[in-house]
Structure 1
Amino acid sequence: MQSVTFFAALIAGVLVPLQAGANAALGRGLGHPLWATMISLAVSAICVVPVMLALRVSGPSIAGLADQPKWIWIGGIVGVVYITAALLLAPKLGAAIFMTAVIAGQILASLAIDYFGLVGFQAKPLTLPRLIGAAVVVAGVLVMQGPSLWRLTQSGT
């Protein structure tokens, strides 16, 4: 079962740079990146409704929302920031540089989230293998993108 879960995550990862490129093209077609963000999120909502209906997902229980931590609302904000950043930055940086920078940021933020037990995750220690793994990912990003990043800093982009 874990291999199926891993494969599903891998497929989801394959789709992310496609999303960035498609949203960037949508932004150009609509005349502004924020329209692309809005349309992308609307298409997401339109796509999830039939799935929810097919699965017979019951309506939400909003009565207990006031008792929940306030940070539960950041998901939508983060989604807007990410989609907008992707459609603005990916065309300038290229898919590989954009995605490796995103992945490095995700790894570093994930270590902090795990360590401090943020946003509902159980706290996990910063072990040497986890730190080495994160360092390898960040080093991989720097090695892979080093020459490109150097050109970007020299061109002032």
Structure 2
Amino acid sequence: MKFFLLFLALVAGMLAPLQAGLNGKIGRAVGDPVYAALISFAVGSAALFFYAVVIRVDFYSIRQAFGLHWSVWSAGFLGAFYVTAVIILTPRLGATLTFGLVVAGQMIMAVFMDYYGLLGVPVQAFSIQRLAGIALITAGVILIRKF
């Protein structure tokens, strides 16, 4: 099971630059990265709704989300910001530099979240190995930028 989850994470990561390129094409076609993100989210929402209907999700359970603190709803804003930023950045910086920086930012935030146990993430001690991992990713971004 763990192998499947690791593989799923790898595939999800591989699809992100592909999504960025496709969303960039939409952005160029409609002339605005925000409209491209809106189209992307509309198609994604339709796909999720179709999936939920096919597997017969209990839609009543969705009502539980309305009881959540308002700050939890900012996840949608963060997703919209991320997708729009990637649509803007990928054609200008290239997929490799864009996603090198995205991964570096993700690692920095992930280590911070792990250290403090933010949002229910299991607490993980900060270590020199984690710092080295972030440094190596950052060095990779610098190499990509230079060459």
Q: Same fold judged by TM-score > 0.5?
A: yes
**Deviation digits for residues 62-101 of structure 1, max 9, x if unmatched?**
35743x3333112100111011101111100001110101
Distance change (3 Å), C-alpha of 1:29 and 1:61: closer
The runs of 5 or more residues in structure 1 that have no matched partner are 149-157
**What is the TM-score with the length of structure 1 in the denominator?**
0.85
Which letter maps to 1:43? V
1:62 pairs with 2:41: no
Secondary structure of the residue aligned to 2:63 is coil
Sequence identity percentage: 35
Q: Paired residue for 1:90? A: 90
Distance change (3 Å), C-alpha of 1:135 and 1:92: same
In structure 2, distance between residues paired with 1:80 and 1:102: 15
**What is the TM-score with the length of structure 2 in the denominator?**
0.91
Question: How many corresponding residue pairs?
Answer: 146
Q: Paired residue for 1:120? A: 120
Secondary structure of the residue aligned to 1:119 is helix
Which 4+ residue blocks in structure 1 deviate beyond 2 angstroms?
Answer: 60-66, 68-71
Equivalent residues in 2 for 1:5-154, closer than 5 Å: 5-59=5-59, 60-62=61-63, 65-66=66-67, 68-145=68-145, 147=146
**Higher helix residue share:** 2
The runs of 5 or more residues in structure 2 that have no matched partner are none
Q: Identify the range of structure 1 (119-128 vs 33-42) with the bigger mean alpha-carbon deviation.
A: 119-128
In structure 2, distance between residues paired with 1:122 and 1:30: 42
Which letter maps to 2:27? G
